[in-house]
């Protein structure tokens, strides 16, 4: 295949965006495709327990919701030409789960309306701050301690959700399997002693690069053992026909009604928090690309934050009217982005173009995994483990990122106080407490730079 098919300049341009058709403008990169086929699909299925619980969807409807999320996520590089490996706004997930568990939202319909409100608020924030350029100014002004408090709040909310709020429903149902999965993933991802092993042994480095998959597999193998019996498989055969119309009837605002103005205002602070997390992810993704670009002068990458704001606004708005679940349409999956960029840096013999690598990891937007009943039903008893695993890793990562920000003892106290307030109070009150603690104890000194977080 000629180079013109994989160049970032190729594709169908429309305004700020560039659409790259799979197999025409991008080629198959098999290492990325094989990883993404399992890892990306398995990670998406972590939402199934939530969608079947508070939102009362059937298993098939929940998977259909995730299929729509997958289409919208993969539209970022394929339809809009964003040079990042996209993913969830993961630190916002525990905030969103806390938000829908408020007494205000008593029925699945009200909870979906709350998610619609969050997504529309976020879309509006992205569009306004993108078109005016105020997003960059806001991030430069925002005090460092307040940024860290938001991230710490995500950490506390995530761990609280696993070990307190939903412990009886998930962790205590499969304690051994869940503990093993969490331990394996924490060791592979964060262990300092294991990091030394990875440097010496390429096999363990490749295992660690698979993200959540090794922990999943360990739980899947150990859980059904006779002396544990925490997992029972009921594998079905065939092809799943996604019930899009059934999902539409239960989730779309065109079917269940639009959120009230009061609900939109109630969701606004959490949407703002989601934007701040997104902005940090954009900074991270851009810096990763900038440091790698010198290794690939043959494949120049067009980085445009304004385009990123617009594409995120469109994706979140489309998600709000079709499969509303607030944290699923973010700009970056940091770990996957790093994995793809590292291989891309090695030259076109390894990865022909950045967009070939990203598109392959996301299986070119084709949700093969979700349509095959043997695969999805095999994953069904692992859904609770997947959710617990996702939240614990989110909590751990957010905690160490948040702790790296404060320098003084007062800053550390403000970060913890603000984080606890954001994790346990409703969004407006939590944000007021975090902001007030920052202003009264530290002052509203602007951040000298836009710190990164993953």
For residue 348, the model assigns a pLDDT of 85
Check if the beta carbon of residue 54 is closer than 8 Å to that of residue 117: no
For residue 5, the model assigns a pLDDT of 45
Side-chain-side CA neighbours of residue 400 (13 Å):
10
For residue 2, the model assigns a pLDDT of 38
Question: What is the rounded distance in angstroms from the CA atom of residue 280 to the CA atom of residue 286?
Answer: 10
Question: What is the rounded distance in angstroms from the CA atom of residue 226 to the CA atom of residue 173?
Answer: 16
pTM, two decimal places: 0.83
Exposed / middle / buried, residue 445 (Cβ in 10 Å: 0-12, 13-18, 19+): exposed
Q: Which two tokens stand for residue 293?
A: 């670009």
Closest CA to 96 of 80, 119, 74, 73: 119
Domain ranges of the chain: 3-174+231-441
Q: Which residues face 14 on adjacent strands?
A: 17
CA end-to-end span of the chain: 35
Check if the beta carbon of residue 119 is closer than 8 Å to that of residue 326: yes
Question: What is the rounded distance in angstroms from the CA atom of residue 439 to the CA atom of residue 420?
Answer: 17
Percent share of the chain, pLDDT over 90: 38
Check if the beta carbon of residue 20 is closer than 8 Å to that of residue 81: yes
Question: What is the rounded distance in angstroms from the CA atom of residue 336 to the CA atom of residue 327?
Answer: 17
pLDDT in tens, the chain (454 residues): 334 444 555 789 999 999 999 988 899 888 888 878 877 777 788 889 889 999 999 999 999 999 999 999 999 999 999 999 998 988 888 889 889 988 789 999 999 999 999 999 999 999 999 888 887 777 678 788 888 888 888 889 888 888 888 788 778 888 999 899 899 988 987 888 988 898 888 888 878 767 677 888 888 899 899 888 888 888 889 999 999 999 999 999 999 999 999 999 999 999 999 998 898 788 778 888 888 888 899 999 998 988 999 999 999 999 999 999 999 999 988 778 877 888 898 888 888 899 999 999 898 888 888 998 998 888 888 888 878 887 888 788 788 878 888 889 999 999 999 999 988 887 788 888 998 999 999 887 655 433 444 3
What letters, b where the CB count within 10 A reaches 16 and e where it falls short, cover 285-296? bbebbeebbeeb
Question: What is the rounded distance in angstroms from the CA atom of residue 242 to the CA atom of residue 70?
Answer: 13
Q: Three-state SS across the chain?
A: CCHHHCCCCCCEEECCEEECCECCCECCCHHHHHHHHHHHHHHHHHHHHHHHCCCCCCHHHHHHHHHHHHHHHHHHHHCCCCCCCCCCCCCHHHHHHHHHCCCCCCCHHHHHHHHHHHHHHHHHHHHHHHHHCHHHHHHHHCCHHHHHHHHHHHHHHHHHHHHHHCHHHHHCCCHHHHHHHHHHHHHHHHCHHHHHHHHHCHHHHHHHCCCCHHHHHHHHHHCCCCCCCCCCCCCCCCECCCCHHHHHHHHCHHHHCCCCHHHHHHHHHHHHHHHHHHHHHHHHHHHHHHHHHCCCCCCCCCCCHHHHHHHHHHHHHHHHHHCCCHHHCCCCCHHHHHHHHHHHCCCCCCCCCHHHHHHHHCHHHCCHHHHEHHHHHHHHHHHHHHHHHHHHHHHHHHHHHHHHCCCCHHHHHHHHHHHHHHHHCCHHHHHHHHHHHHHHHCCCCCCCCCCCCC
Question: What is the rounded distance in angstroms from the CA atom of residue 325 to the CA atom of residue 247?
Answer: 13
Q: How far, in Å, are 223, 228, 238 from residue 173 at the CA level?
A: 11, 12, 29
Q: Which residues face 13 on adjacent strands?
A: 18
Check if the beta carbon of residue 289 is closer than 8 Å to that of residue 8: no
Q: Which two tokens stand for residue 93?
A: 């997930």
Q: Which two tokens stand for residue 22?
A: 């799979």
């Amino acid at each position: 295949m000629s180079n013109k098919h994989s160049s970032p300049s190729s594709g169908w341009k429309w305004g700020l965006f560039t659409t790259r058709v799979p197999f025409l403008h991008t080629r198959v990169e098999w290492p990325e495709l094989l990883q993404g086929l399992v890892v990306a699909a398995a990670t998406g299925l972590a939402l199934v327990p939530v969608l079947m619980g508070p939102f009362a969807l059937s298993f098939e409807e929940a998977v259909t919701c995730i299929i729509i999320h997958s289409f919208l996520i993969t539209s970022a590089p394929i339809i809009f030409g964003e040079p990042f490996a996209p993913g969830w706004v993961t630190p916002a997930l525990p905030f969103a789960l806390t938000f829908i568990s408020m007494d205000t939202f008593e029925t699945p319909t009200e909870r979906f309306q709350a998610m619609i409100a969050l997504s529309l608020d976020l879309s509006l924030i992205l569009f306004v701050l993108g078109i005016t350029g105020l997003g960059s100014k806001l991030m430069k002004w925002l005090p460092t301690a307040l940024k860290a408090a938001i991230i710490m709040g995500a950490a506390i909310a995530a761990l609280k959700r696993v070990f307190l709020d939903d412990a009886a429903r998930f962790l205590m149902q499969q304690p051994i399997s869940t503990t093993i999965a969490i331990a394996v993933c924490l060791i592979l991802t964060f262990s300092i002693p294991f990091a030394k092993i990875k440097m010496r042994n390429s096999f363990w480095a490749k295992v660690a690069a698979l993200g959540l998959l090794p922990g999943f597999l360990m739980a899947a193998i150990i859980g059904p053992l006779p002396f544990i019996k925490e997992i029972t498989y009921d594998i079905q055969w065939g092809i799943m026909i996604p019930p899009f119309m059934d999902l539409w009837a239960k989730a779309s605002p065109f079917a269940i009604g639009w959120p009230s103005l009061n609900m939109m205002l109630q969701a606004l602070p959490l949407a703002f928090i989601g934007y701040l997390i997104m902005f940090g992810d954009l900074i991270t993704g851009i810096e990763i690309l900038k440091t790698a670009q010198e290794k690939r002068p043959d494949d120049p990458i067009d980085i445009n934050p304004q385009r990123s704001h617009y594409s995120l606004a469109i994706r979140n708005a489309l998600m709000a009217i079709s499969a509303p679940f607030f944290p699923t349409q973010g700009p970056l999956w940091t770990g996957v982005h790093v994995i793809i960029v590292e291989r891309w840096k090695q030259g076109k013999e390894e990865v022909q173009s950045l967009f070939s690598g990203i598109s392959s990891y996301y299986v070119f937007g084709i949700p093969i995994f979700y349509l095959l009943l043997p695969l999805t039903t095999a994953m069904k008893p692992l859904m609770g483990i997947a959710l617990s695993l996702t939240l614990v890793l989110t909590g751990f990562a957010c905690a160490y990122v948040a702790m790296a920000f404060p320098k003084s003892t007062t800053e550390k106290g403000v970060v913890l106080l603000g984080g606890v307030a954001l994790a346990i109070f409703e969004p407006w009150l939590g944000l007021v407490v975090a902001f007030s603690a920052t202003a009264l104890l530290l002052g509203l000194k602007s951040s000298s730079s836009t710190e990164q977080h993953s």
